[in-house]
Chains A and B, each alone.
Chain A
Amino acid sequence: MTVVLAIGTGKGLFLARSGDDRHEWQISGPHFPMTAVYSVAIDTRRQPARLLVGVSSSHFGPSVAISDDLGETWQEPEVAPIAFPTETGAALERVWQLTPGRADQPDVIYAGVQPSALFRSEDGGRSFALVRGLWDHPHREHWEPGFGGKAVHTVLPHPTDPARVVVAMSTGGVYRTSDGGATWEATNTGIKAYFLPDNPYPEFGQCVHKIARHPDRPEQFFAQNHHGVYRSDDGGSTWVSIADGLPSDFGFPIVVHPHRPGVIYTFPLTADGLRFPPEDRCRIYRSEDAGSTWTALAKGLPEEGFYATVLRDALACDDADPAGVYVGARSGEVYASADEGESWRLVASHLPDVLCVRAAVVG
């Protein structure tokens, strides 16, 4: 089994490859040096797997590149893969998310971008078109930028229904379509916006940091909010807190196990105003009962003096069985677990700040 771990950092993409059940890793990179890699996808619907990477140069702007040989070579289209139509007056600032579509639509790729918008590709990521229904939503003028920018950062295509897609944005919250993107409704009931004391449970405007779901339970969602950890069992219509048992309800990522619905991982930070892990320890928290109870996972992780943040896309699982779990920190360290989080090994250190990680079995 060969597993590829893609590590997006503030100064390029690093690729780690393991052929021995994820014990030893060979690392290459940086690919796209001096670009911020906020999004990467490993599209295993095709063989060989396709890597897609969203790069942002502070000088020369954003783009998307693809590789069909696991990073040996890259192709970037001459014409901008993602660009706003002229009449929108908007310009692409950053690609926050690249999400492969359903298995039976192998050329469909979604991109969540800044400013908040959704794009869709039907040619495997070489070119994308703006999803106008979300861009034209009457709420859009009220979406505000969070500290990281105003972006659609999560895209969850329905596993069986091509007309249904759920997105999350900061700020704005969760939106869903059931008509292929023509219309969208905000679905944030129960998610708190504590920073809006005059209306802490608005229809929209929440700062949802990440959402996740397992394809075998398409109506169940999990959300890590800007304070608040939630679950929805009705397709996102309503949300309930699952933060009891966590040391904090603040954090950025939330990840669903690839094979076990209801098994989720998160990385709590103490608070909005104190963005360090609780007790300054590096601990992943796992729930095996959809958030009713939580267990700290720390074997092999730094036990003290850990002050780094784990960003919203810097916690991920691969698709092996048992599943691998990966976490990257803004301090440039990446840890991997080959046993679903029970124990961890250092994969890389002294990298630039880690913005995202993705991993998959590629052979």
Chain B
Amino acid sequence: MTLSGVRVEVLVPAVLRTDCGGAARLSFVLSSPATLGDLLAEVAGAHPRLERRVRDEQGAIRRYVNVYVNGEEARSRAGVATPLHDGTQVQIVPSVAGG
């Protein structure tokens, strides 16, 4: 039997691409089972400035940042405990805020 990792693609909004070398898409391979929190920990290792734009130092996703897991906003699922499966697409979206 061959064990393979959980492949996840992260879509980065234009405003944050300077925090990850200009990339619009990032690919990660996580150990199974994997959660959104595991992914963000990997993001922190590879692109720490990008990760701290998304969540604070206590690990909470920032109030006006939405993270979608295969099209579903993570808060409506299990937050950072949301499970990620092979082929999952995670999208970071600034929410509507400000004036």
Segment touching A, from B29-37, B58-66, B67-75, B78-86 = B58-66
For chain B, what secondary structure do more than half of its interface residues adopt (helix, strand, loop), or is it mixed? Answer: loop
* A59–B94 touching, CB < 8 Å: yes
Q: A61 in the interface, Cβ–Cβ < 8 Å?
A: yes
Cβ of B9 to closest chain A Cβ, rounded Å: 21
Question: Does A274 interact with chain B (Cβ within 8 Å)?
Answer: no
The contact string, 1 if C-beta is below 8 Å from chain B, for chain A 52-75, is 000001111101000000000000
B4 on the A face (CB < 8 A): no
Please tell me if the beta carbons of A58 and B98 are within 8 angstroms of each other in the complex: yes
B62 touches A60 (CB 8 A): yes
Provide the bound-state CA to CA distance between A76 and B52, in Å. Answer: 12
B76 within 8 A of A: no
Query: For residue A83, which residues in chain B have a CB less than 8 angstroms away from its CB?
Result: 52, 57
Q: What 0/1 readout, one digit per residue, does chain B (37-65) give for beta carbons within 8 Å of chain A? A: 00000000001110011101110101011
Q: Is the CB of B57 within 8 A of A84?
A: yes
B58 touches A60 (CB 8 A): no
Q: Does B12 contact A (CB under 8 A)?
A: no
What separation, in Å, do the CA atoms of A90 and B98 have in the docked complex?
24
Q: Classify chain A: how many residues form its interface, as a range.
A: 10 to 19
Q: Pick the residue among B48, B53, B97, B98 that contacts A61 (CB under 8 A).
A: B53
A77: chain B residues within 8 A (beta carbon):
49
* Minimum CB–CB distance for A160 against chain B, Å: 35
Output the least CB separation between B64 and chain A (Å): 5
In the bound assembly, the distance between CA atoms of A78 and B47 in angstroms comes to 8
Tell whether B16 is near chain A: CB-to-CB under 8 Å: yes
B95 within 8 A of A: yes
Q: CB within 8 A of B58: which of A59, A63, A90?
A: A90
Q: A59-B53, A60-B94 are in contact. List 10 more A-B contacts (CB 8 A).
A: A59-B98, A60-B16, A60-B53, A60-B65, A61-B53, A78-B48, A79-B52, A86-B57, A89-B58, A91-B60
Jot down 10 A-B pairs with beta carbons below 8 A, ordered by A.
A34-B98, A57-B53, A59-B64, A59-B94, A59-B98, A60-B16, A60-B65, A61-B62, A91-B56, A91-B57
| Chain B residues in the interface with A (C-beta under 8 A) | 16, 47-49, 52-54, 56-58, 60, 62, 64-65, 94-95, 97-98
